[in-house]
Amino acid sequence: MAGLKELRTRIESIKSTHKITAAMKMVSASKFRRAQLTLDKSESFQDMLLANIKKVLAELKMQEAERHIQFVMPKLLIQPTNPQVYALFVLASDKGLCGSYNSMIAKEAKRRIDELTEEGKKVLVFCYGKKALSSLNRYGVRNIAGAYSNVIKKHLTYAEALSFLRDVWDKKNQYQVDVCEIVYSDFLSGLSKTYLSKQVIPLDIHLAEEEQQLNRIGSAFYEYLPDPWETLHQFLNLYVRTSMFEILINSQASEHVARMTSMDNATRNAQDMIKSLTFKYNSLRQSAITTELVEIVAGAEAM
């Protein structure tokens, strides 16, 4: 009977765990839906803004060709000729229980660090999220310039994105960084996401050959007030801010869907264990009852 008691205790323990993982799955699903709605709106605005930036760049290129001049591009668009110092801002979560989410981000960061190191570049690593530092340490990354927690609160706000952008700019100026990149998870769908390192400063915007005539549609063309140059500056300042917001909301959505999937798997495993242990418990209990009945019958016949 001691075996039955142990099984009963274990079944009750797993049932408690099952309730916790199921509740965590529902909470993550709710947060994910909210983040996904924000992301959909952000991506539409970002795509529209990028299209307009390319239209202005096409206009400036056209003016350069017609007037035989060359504009000095804004600093946000000037790529360093031979960058030597790179800053990697690694975005991970503050909490665990989200499957391989943090380890995959650390793996991508390690890949990028090794790639830049082999090219002879100096790499500064800044960790955002409590799990970023521990995950990178497991991959053998020790040259961490800074580690911070609670970058994204319960629900991401535009003010938090601006605060993070200011921090990136401060690090760039403080450490005289040439290129700033952010390692994060880009959300694609509920079942798919990719881990990448994206350059954010300076902005990596290039015009393809087919985009050189974006500002002209037949005989029609765009006009800019006050002028294309001022318009480009305003667009770029807005674009770098919304880009940071989009990166953070992608990271948040990916974290929520990873935790939702992880808790769903844990809930299913708990259900399977409960079924298996319940079957074993019932088998042992039936066996014990049968043994007792046999002993009673044998004792009655002996009398």
User: How would you classify the pairing of strands 85-91 and 179-189?
Assistant: parallel
Beta strands in the chain (DSSP E): 85-91, 122-128, 144-148, 179-189, 192-201, 216-217, 220-221
Average pLDDT of the segment spanning 27-54:
85
Tell me, yes or no, whether 167 and 279 share the same domain.
no
Taking the CA atoms of residue 226, residue 228, residue 234 and residue 238 in that order, the dihedral angle to the nearest 10 degrees is: 140
Please determine, for residue 139, whether its predicted confidence score (pLDDT) is greater than 60.
yes
Tell me, yes or no, whether 282 and 189 share the same domain.
no
Tell me, yes or no, whether 232 and 196 share the same domain.
yes
Contacts of residue 170, Cβ cutoff 8 Å, sequence gap at least 6 = none
| 3-class secondary-structure state, position 153 | coil
Do 227 and 63 touch, CB atoms closer than 8 A? no
Tell me, yes or no, whether 273 and 290 share the same domain.
yes
Spatial separation of the C-alpha atoms in residues 5 and 274, rounded to whole Å? 15
Spatial separation of the C-alpha atoms in residues 274 and 272, rounded to whole Å? 5
Tell me, yes or no, whether 232 and 142 share the same domain.
yes
Spatial separation of the C-alpha atoms in residues 76 and 89, rounded to whole Å? 18
Spatial separation of the C-alpha atoms in residues 191 and 179, rounded to whole Å? 32
Please determine, for residue 1, whether its predicted confidence score (pLDDT) is greater than 60.
no
**CATH code for the domain in which residue 240 is found:** 3.40.1380.10
* pLDDT tens-digit readout, 254-279: 888 988 988 999 999 999 998 988 88
* pLDDT at residue 107, as a whole number: 92
Above pLDDT 70, what percent of the chain?
89
Token representation of residue 91: 């975005």
Q: What is the pTM of this model?
A: 0.84
86-to-105, 127, 251, 277 alpha-carbon distances in Å? 18, 14, 21, 54
Tell me, yes or no, whether 129 and 14 share the same domain.
no
* pLDDT at residue 299, as a whole number: 67
Average pLDDT, the chain: 84
Tell me, yes or no, whether 135 and 43 share the same domain.
yes
In 3-state terms the chain splits into helix, strand, coil percentages (rounded to 5) of 65, 15, 20
Q: What is the residue range of 112's domain?
A: 34-260
- Among the listed residues 81, 79, 105, the one whose alpha carbon sits nearest the alpha carbon of residue 91: 105
* pLDDT tens-digit readout, 179-226: 999 999 888 776 667 888 999 989 888 776 666 666 666 666 777 777
Tell me, yes or no, whether 247 and 153 share the same domain.
yes
* pLDDT tens-digit readout, 88-122: 999 988 888 888 888 899 999 999 999 999 999 99
**CATH code for the domain in which residue 7 is found:** 1.10.287.80
Domain count, the chain: 2
Tell me, yes or no, whether 69 and 116 share the same domain.
yes
* pLDDT at residue 105, as a whole number: 92
35-to-10, 159, 186, 268 alpha-carbon distances in Å? 37, 16, 13, 25
Tell me, yes or no, whether 284 and 196 share the same domain.
no
Tell me, yes or no, whether 156 and 20 share the same domain.
no
Tell me, yes or no, whether 251 and 103 share the same domain.
yes
